[in-house]
Structure 1
Amino acid sequence: MGKVVYLVRHCEAEGQAPHAKLTPEGKRQAEELALFFGKVKIERIISSPFVRARSTALPIAESKGLSIEQNSDLAERVLSSQDEENWLEKLRDSFLDVHLKYKGGESSIEAMTRAYKVLKEISGDRPTVIVTHGNLMTLLLRCFDKRFGFEEWKALTNPDVFRISETGGHVSVKRVWEG
């Protein structure tokens, strides 16, 4: 069958801080995600340690009788340690130049490398859900399809789900969330 990974962007949250919780709508979305994965074979769930990601993964894990593995390599990318007035422009530029790095931040290539490492460590016979964040998710998808960039990041929803499947050395990426 090959490797199957469902890459999930967390549900609607109260903010961007690591401790930001899901909104009431985000909690409803997380329950909807659990229903979405109801008939899908899942054997492993790996999540960013951020509260909003773990809270997104929890209903899926409970419905499948699985534990959530936390992995700091799935934490959202820090663009800069400074508040940037034109952060959206800087984010766009970081997709255009994957080596661009702002003060106290992480370049796109650095973030892609750490996230891709998590994906490579997944066994091919264990369908897995990975719950992460929009920027990092887009960068991870870019590892398989160079067309993923700033505009694709802007088009993501909270939540969002992409299926990455690898069979015989061929990788396919498909958006499967229509919520």
Structure 2
Amino acid sequence: MAKHIYVIRHCEAKGQSPDASLTEQGFQQAEVLTEFFADKKIDRIITSPFLRAIQTIEPLSKRENINVEIDERLSERILSTSDLPDWYEKLLATFTDMELKFEGGESSNEAMERIVNVVEETFKSESEHTIIASHGNIMTLLLKNYNSDVNFQFWTRLSNPDVFQLSVKDHEVTLERIWE
């Protein structure tokens, strides 16, 4: 029996802080996302505690009458607690050196480990069709864990929202982008 996890990057948001809300367009995207999942079976929904991730998945959870589980490990990766004017270059460097970290931040490997733990626990759970709502950087690191070709350029091409399907069958994980 195959198990499926739909990994969603949140819809368009007003900012990067944990309490940043979706934009008006982001709320419309959340409704489109709900329709996108209309023909897919969903057993469970897990989300980042960040407001934009919760708001992304709320319409779907209401329609499907599924309680949303909040998991801190799905929070966006912390690059640094200091202001980094050259954050883009610093982020790129962390995809080359997976152990590199900046003041108060996480290395790519540290961030990857926490989200992979959520996914692996989910694959071992009773749920067959789970949604995980999270963020672009940490989601890219998750996908990189299962496909070494995923890199910084991959991250730059993600959309808001974006959806990937991770499937496991006979201990083999496959991944596919299913959002158009």
Range into which the TM-score falls when normalised by the shorter chain: over 0.9
One-letter amino acid of the counterpart of residue 40, structure 2 = V
Matched with 1:15 is 15
Matched with 1:103 is 103
Normalized against structure 1, the TM-score is what?
A: 0.97
Distance 2:126 2:86 in 1: 41
Distance 1:5 1:170 in 2: 13
Normalized against structure 2, the TM-score is what?
A: 0.97
Distance 1:160 1:73 in 2: 19
SS at match of 1:143: helix
Contact 1:45–1:130, Cα closer than 8 Å, also in 2: yes
Matched with 1:60 is 60
2:159 equivalent among 157, 160, 164: 157
The structure-2 alpha-carbon separation of the partners of 1:82 and 1:40, relative to structure 1 and needing over 3 Å to count, comes to: same
Structure 1's consecutive aligned runs of 4 or more residues displaced over 6 angstroms after TM superposition are: none
Q: How does 1:81-100 map to 2 (within 5 A)?
A: 81-100=81-100
Which string of whole-angstrom CA distances, capped at 9 and with x for unpartnered residues, describes residues 107-145 of structure 1? 000000010111111126421000000000000001100
SS at match of 1:131: strand
One-letter amino acid of the counterpart of residue 35, structure 2 = L
Distance 1:51 1:37 in 2: 21
Shift of the alpha carbon at 1:5?
Answer: 0.2
**Unaligned 5+ residue runs, structure 2?**
none
1:127 equivalent among 126, 129, 148: 129
Contact 1:81–1:104, Cα closer than 8 Å, also in 2: yes
Shift of the alpha carbon at 1:25?
Answer: 0.1
